[in-house]
Structure 1
Amino acid sequence: MADTALSDAVVGIPDVWRLRARGCWAEAAALLAPHCARDAGAALRCAELLIEGCFYQLDGWGPAEDALRTAEAMAATDEERGAAASERGYLAYGATLFSVRDRADEASSAFGRSAALLSPASPGRPLLDFRRGLVAENLASNPAAAKAAYRRAHAGAVAHGDVFLTSFTWRHLAGLAAAEGDLAEARHGFAESLRIRVALGHLVGAAPALLALADVSSDEEAAPLRAEAARLHTLLGGIPAWLPVALP
């Protein structure tokens, strides 16, 4: 994807995106809060923001759950219900991944419900495929199924012009390539992920992308990448919360 211009189709409302990209998920959600009682789309986006924040901060699960319930109650179409079910699965996956509570069965059920509601051509389908890949990789320990899901997600994201999602599909496909010993493919994927995040101004995602690329680079190339990751992590107040173990 060469076109990484900031657009509503990629990142949503510009003010919301700027806050989200800097790790200010609660503040971004607050901009949408006045509209959530009458707009299903705003309610869903608010839940998405707070759920995403849980993955970076390892906190805020209660408010995210409350926002998701509102989005589920507001959903009136199959597309809206399918998107809300995808968020339900993602929240349950996160709670399981970070050992908050084992909700793996709930995640699987919600993703299945989402797949039944979202048409194959839905713009939400690539994100669902990606999330099912995460479950396959990190909960089911099935890298083959994860790779197939990530590839579907990547193709769908490209088809729908979802540049932001491709930064994640590149990253996770690269991670699988690294695990298989294909360092050239891993470097390419991690570099693409980093390039997109920088182009979109996604500061909170840049440090993990820098470190991932550093891990498959020579010592000489890796040192400045790790130094920049540490600088950004400090600048953003220690977000992502799980990153310090990997910093120099």
Structure 2
Amino acid sequence: MKRQGEGTVADTAMANGDLQDDGDPLTGAVWRLRSRGCWAEAADLVAERDGEPGAALLRAMLLGEGCLYTGEGWERAEDALRAAEAVPTDDEGRGAAACERGHLAWASTLLGVRDRTDEARAALGRAAALLPPDSPRRALLDYRRGLLGEYLSDGPQGAEAAYRRAHAAAAARGDLLLLSGTWRQLGGLALHSDDLGEARRAFRESLRLREELGFLVGIAPALEALASVESGREAERLREEARRLFRMLGGVPRWLAPRLGIA
């Protein structure tokens, strides 16, 4: 049974520091498009470098993230993922592709498109077996295994352990976007346990990091999460700001609309 907790669906989407603006013109352009919810456009930019290592996987990741935020584009994302899986590579590359497949299958299940729980579990298990212990992708894998455990396996305790491993690794690597994601999920677990003080602290940190990074598409969910542990005028102020950003970005993430009172 799925646990549709306080911090569900697209807000848990992606946190991959490798895609943050690192000074490279293409990376910067992809980051700006992605952060504004323009995943297809970002994927099209990456397609221009299809012959470069990692380009196919990056394109699959972007399109998969778009599915999670919009609930659309599954076929294109699947095609991109199959293309990434077909690229000859080492265990690191195969593990990364398996991690993307597990995440896409998780998203499809969570959004009610098709139940792919077994596929998600198998793919993330395969990623764990393939990725070397010192792989920088381990943190993202732990994060996604936490998502699988929390939302599809009714295991918040196991999910918390995975989130904390990802949290520590993200902090050590300076992966601020992943860190914002782990703060968000840990805050949701704290709220589920009625620890409002810890939930408030975690949600504030998640929001702060997303604002600092300029990850616009993730700010409205972070504002709404913080509003859930505030009251009175402050809660309404946060929700109104979330509504403004939601509308400005064309209504994504779509799952957020009812939580903001938007028809």
Calculate the TM-score normalised by the size of structure 1. Answer: 0.94
Unmatched segments (≥5 aa) in structure 1: 1-5
Instruction: Determine the C-alpha separation between the residues in 1 that align with 2:183 and 2:160.
Output: 11
Residue deviations 1:65-89, cap 9 Å, x none? 0011111111411111110000000
Task: Answer yes or no: is the 8 Å Cα contact 1:83–1:118 preserved in 2.
Answer: yes
Q: Does 1:51 align with 2:59?
A: no
> Which fold has the larger relative contact order, with Cα–Cα distance below 8 Å and residues 6 or more apart in sequence?
2
Distance 2:169 2:132 in 1: 13
Identity of aligned residues (%): 59
Partner residue of 2:28?
A: 14
Deviation at 1:7, TM superposition (A): 4.1
Amino acid at match of 2:117: A
Residue deviations 1:166-208, cap 9 Å, x none?
0100000000000101101000100000001111111110000
Task: Give the Å deviation of 1:39.
Answer: 2.2
The amino acid of 1:138's aligned partner reads Y
The farther-off stretch of 159-168 and 17-26 is: 159-168
Aligned equivalent of 1:3? none
Distance in structure 2 (CA, Å) of the matches to 1:162 and 1:99: 30
1:5-84 map, 5 Å: 7-8=21-22, 13-36=27-50, 38-84=51-97
Counterparts of 2:21 and 2:63 in 1: how far apart (Å)? 21
Partner of 1:219: 232
Tell me how far apart the structure 1 counterparts of residues 105 and 123 of structure 2 sit (CA, whole Å): 9
Instruction: Report the count of equivalent residues.
Output: 240
- The alignment's C-alpha RMSD in Å is 1.2
Runs (5+) with no aligned partner, structure 2: 1-19
CA-CA distance at 1:148 after TM superposition: 0.5
Separation (CA, whole Å) in 1 of partners of 2:154 and 2:198? 21
In 1, the alpha carbon distance for the partners of 2:185 and 2:97 equals 23
8 Å contact kept, 1:136–1:143: yes
* TM-aligned CA deviation for residue 220 of structure 1: 2.4
Paired AA for residue 40 in structure 1: P
Q: Is the 2:21–2:31 contact (alpha carbons within 8 Å) kept by the matching residues of 1?
A: no
Instruction: Give yes or no for contact 1:39–1:74 (8 Å, CA) kept in 2.
Output: no
Looking at structure 2, the residues matched to 94 and 240 of structure 1 have their Cα atoms a distance apart, in angstroms, of 13
Aligned AA (1:173): L
Residue of structure 1 in register with 2:174 after alignment: 161
2:74 maps to a residue whose letter is: W
| 1:29 CA drift (Å) | 0.5
Counterpart in the other structure of 1:86: 99
Q: TM-score, structure 2 length as denominator?
A: 0.89
**Residue 179 of structure 1 pairs with residue 192 of structure 2:** yes
